Structure 1
Amino acid sequence: MKKNLLLTILLIFLMVMNGVLLYLVLNKTERKNRPPKVFITQQLGFNDNQLADFRSIDEEHHRKMRALEDNSRDLKELLFSNLDNTNFTTNELDSITNLIGQLSIDKEQEVFNYFKALENICTDKQKIKLKNIVTGALRRNPQRGDPPPPR
């Protein structure tokens, strides 16, 4: 009788712990799968006018970023298509890699301009929240799920 009670308590405990684990895993996954624009609009609490402005800014930003990514991919394909080309010169290599580097600079500037445009449609309280969001994003590596570094 005592063994059955102990096993029953242990079984209930394990079931509860499995439920908690499932909740934590599913809740974390849902947060990770949320698009950044949904996260930003929810965190900043944009009103209807701000949402319309945000959508316009976001669409333009994505259009520009796609174009930059496409150009970068094309240049990298050109670069690596010359691996077996014995006539490919160091000057050509430098030229293509400089263009790829410039596109990287352009991407970083576009991201900065995107957040600057978002800041321009924010209230003073929202600007503080936006700064915290950007700062937090810069301090961690979301691809690896890294937490922010210690201070």
Structure 2
Amino acid sequence: MVSKNTYRILIWVIVILAATSLSMGISFWYHKQQDKKAAEKQKQQVEMPSEQRTRFFREQLNLRQDQMDIFRELNREYNRSARRISNQLEDLRIKMVEEMGQQSPGKEELDSISENIGNLHSDLKKLTIQYYLDMKEVCDEDQQQKLNEIFLTMSKSKEDVSLPRRGGRGKGRGPQ
């Protein structure tokens, strides 16, 4: 027979375990929500929807209507080409992961895929450079300076791969 003291201890253990589980669940949910908010905020700061890109440039650069028409056409051409390259990159990444998942992945095949990915990245960068230069050609001097600032901000905030920082998490130790 279980004594009254043992019964009370078991009740308290259950209450403590339930409270711990509940607080852990709430904490997990809270941090997940915070991560979602932070990711959404960063995405809004970094990415500019392609259909709104022309409007964004109009507002930021104070474009005239004739400039807007040219920017709109440049944007369409850039989006078409960039989307094609982006789709090819996605296909190659999937192919690479599938090959790595094989029982005996082919090193030569993976090297070939990697080289193709690198070439497509290069093509995408060249396309972006040409897009920038074409837009710059349409702008006056003040607009060119602002356009440069916009592209600089966008290029600083976009990375294909997030690498860990050297020397800890932003503690000011060493180059990052």
- Structure whose alpha-carbon radius of gyration is higher: 2
The alignment status of 1:83 with 2:100, answered yes or no, reads yes
What CA distance in whole angstroms lies between the structure 2 residues aligned with 1:45 and 1:75? 40
The alignment status of 1:50 with 2:67, answered yes or no, reads yes
Q: What are the residue-to-residue correspondences of 1:28-43 with 2, within 5 Å? A: 32=45, 35-43=52-60
What CA distance in whole angstroms lies between the structure 2 residues aligned with 1:38 and 1:82? 42
Q: Which has the higher contact order (CA 8 A, sep 6+)?
A: 1
Among residues 87, 108, 113, which one is paired with 1:70 in the alignment?
Answer: 87
* 1:32-85 residue CA offsets vs partner (Å, 9 max, x unmatched): 587443222111111111111000000000001100011111111222222343
Distance 1:89 1:64, change over 3 A: same
When the two structures are aligned, how many residues end up with a matched partner?
Answer: 114
Letter in 1 for 2:57: I
Letter in 2 for 1:78: K
Report what 1:138 is aligned to.
155
Gaps of 5+ in 1: 1-27, 143-151
Q: What are the residue-to-residue correspondences of 1:92-111 with 2, within 5 Å? A: 92-111=109-128
Percent identity of paired positions between Structure 1 and Structure 2: 24
Distance 1:128 1:97, change over 3 A: same
Among residues 100, 118, 133, which one is paired with 1:116 in the alignment?
Answer: 133
Structure 1 range deviating more: 114-123 or 131-140: 131-140
Distance 1:137 1:89, change over 3 A: closer
TM-score, normalising length from structure 2? 0.56
RMSD (Å), alpha carbons: 2.6
What CA distance in whole angstroms lies between the structure 1 residues aligned with 2:158 and 2:104? 40
What CA distance in whole angstroms lies between the structure 2 residues aligned with 1:132 and 1:117? 16
What CA distance in whole angstroms lies between the structure 1 residues aligned with 2:155 and 2:87? 24
SS of the counterpart of 1:77?
helix
Q: CA deviation at 1:87?
A: 5.1
Gaps of 5+ in 2: 1-40, 160-176
Runs of 4+ that moved beyond 6 A = none
Report what 2:164 is aligned to.
none
